[in-house]
Amino acid sequence: MNRIYLIARREYLSYVAAPGFWISLIAIPLLLVAAVMAPLVIGQAEPARAVAVISDDPALERVVSDAIDGGNLQAGQQPLPGDAMARYVVVPAPATTAEALTPWLVGERTVSTPQGELSLSAALFVTRTPDGGTDLQVWSTSLADREPVERAERALGDLMRAEALGRAGLSTAEIDRVDDLWPSVASFDPRRTGAEAEVQVADRAPFFVSVALSYLLFMLIFSVANMLLSSVIEEKQARILDTLMTSARLTEVLAGKLLGVAMVSLTLLTVWGVTAVTAARLGAGADPDGVVAGVFEALSDPVLIGMMAAYFLVGYLMYGAIFIGIGALCENLQEAQTLMGPVIVILMIPMLLILVAINTPDSEVVRTMAWVPLFAPFLGILRVPTEPPLLELLGPLVLAAATVPLALWVSAHLMRAGTVDQAAGAAMRRLLSFGRMGR
């Protein structure tokens, strides 16, 4: 065990010492922060835009102006971060025709706004039609900037509906009440009783966690595949194996490699996880009954999270052992990539099954396929929240767990045949002979 630890430790430190590890470590949190901050930064960086609303009908002008001038910015005020509408400021029209407004619209002249001198971003002409409807004409050189137009459109639509309902005899209060009509939906779990029976958003959180974990496992397997293949092939190319084998069994060497890479992944996941959890906790504080709070509740269930973690770990180690076996068969990365093709095809199967299992985790197909060790980790994670029978919960896990030492044994066998005995081409023959186990 000590030798496995030492080999794993060396493997871990060699990855941690590489710049790529640190780039990966900080890249995800940075991307997370960037994803949150980018709209705010972009919003703040964008200049305020002046919009003029021109109408013969003061009521129409007020409705459209109020819809656009969301910020009501005063002199010297900056728009609030992320508030797109705060970027727009409605100004009195310097002229009343499109032709007369052209110098302001093309930037030749400016208007005074609380944010300083600005050219007109858009001029909105709103008129009543003979049938009592409204007409909106937009003059602007900012062809892609549709936000004020859409706001005005919605506001005019609401106004037209309210006027129509008013003509039909409904009061303003009744119109507001009609607008608020919405069905009340409640879900119940027949396995529970009383107030507990009603399904809350938080009750669905374990399913969200399981789907997220299943996809995370899928992505992690792809990311470690390259690390493990490179590690094994480097060992073979650097001719270190002979020296190592006088100090440790081949299975210990391979197990050490697998655990070393697993520790690297664990470090990355821990840092990323802590970052995500810290961000999510802030979200949970703002919405105590929401999905994020439910996720934390799900994570606090030791049985649920323990089983998911077990499936996750077994899946990681099993596929890792398979990649080590592929590395053992190959002399270089090109060869390894060729052999990876069939493995990727196999990995596509659970990917498709995940899609089925998300909606119907108890379907016959999912329940049957969950017993196949290669698919068990993905499907097992998804089935844990459905609380399947104990045999269906633990059986596939035990089978998949037993596959890990078997895969390592086969990998050691291949490595001994292909590298140590230098019997290239005889590796598969020797594997199929199922001779004595690799020391």
Partner 1 sequence: MKRTGARSIKTAPFFVVARVEAILNDPILVVDGLTKRFGAHEAVSALSFEVPRGTIMGFLGPNGAGKSTTLKSIVGIHRPDAGQVTLFGGGLTRAALNRVGYLPEERGLYRKMRAVPSIAFFARLKGIPAGEARRRAARLLDENGLGDWKQRKIASLSKGMAQKVQILCAIAHEPDLVILDEPFSGLDPVNQADLERLIHGLVARGASVVFSTHVMQHAERLCRSIVLIARGRKVFDGTVEAALSQLGGEAVVEVEPGFDLAAALGARGVEASVGDREGVYRVRTEGREGIQRALAACVSAAAPLIRFEPVRPSLHDAFVQLVGDRATPVMRPAEAAE
Binding footprint of partner 1 on the chain (CB under 8 A): 3, 6-7, 10, 14, 17-18, 238-248, 420-424, 426, 436, 439
In the complex, least distance from residue 409 CB atom to partner 1, rounded to whole angstroms:
16
In the complex, least distance from residue 335 CB atom to partner 1, rounded to whole angstroms:
18
In 187-301, beta strands by DSSP E: 187-188, 198-199
Nearest to 387, CA basis, from 217, 206, 202:
206
In the complex, least distance from residue 435 CB atom to partner 1, rounded to whole angstroms:
9
Rank residues 36 and 424 by Cβ distance to partner 1 and give the closer one: 424
The CA-based diameter of the chain, rounded to the nearest angstrom, is: 97
- Looking from the CA of 266 toward its CB, the CA atoms found within 13 Å total 13
Spell out the residues 6+ positions from residue 147 whose beta carbon is closer than 8 angstroms to its own. 84, 85, 88
- Residues of 217-255 as b/e, b for ≥16 C-beta within 10 angstroms? bbebbeebbebbbebbbebbeeeebeebbeebbbbbbbb
Rank residues 40 and 437 by Cβ distance to partner 1 and give the closer one: 437
Rank residues 46 and 421 by Cβ distance to partner 1 and give the closer one: 421
Q: What are 416's two structure tokens?
A: 């001994």
Rank residues 281 and 429 by Cβ distance to partner 1 and give the closer one: 429
Rank residues 1 and 173 by Cβ distance to partner 1 and give the closer one: 1
In the complex, least distance from residue 423 CB atom to partner 1, rounded to whole angstroms:
6
Helices (H), 330-389: 333-359, 364-369, 376-383
Q: Are 221 and 315 in contact (CB under 8 A)?
A: yes
In the complex, least distance from residue 420 CB atom to partner 1, rounded to whole angstroms:
6
Residue type, 438: G
- Residues of 349-365 as b/e, b for ≥16 C-beta within 10 angstroms? ebeebbeebeeebeeee
Q: Are 132 and 162 in contact (CB under 8 A)?
A: no
Q: Give the sign of the dihedral formed by CA 246, CA 250, CA 255, CA 257.
A: positive
Rank residues 167 and 436 by Cβ distance to partner 1 and give the closer one: 436
Rank residues 56 and 421 by Cβ distance to partner 1 and give the closer one: 421
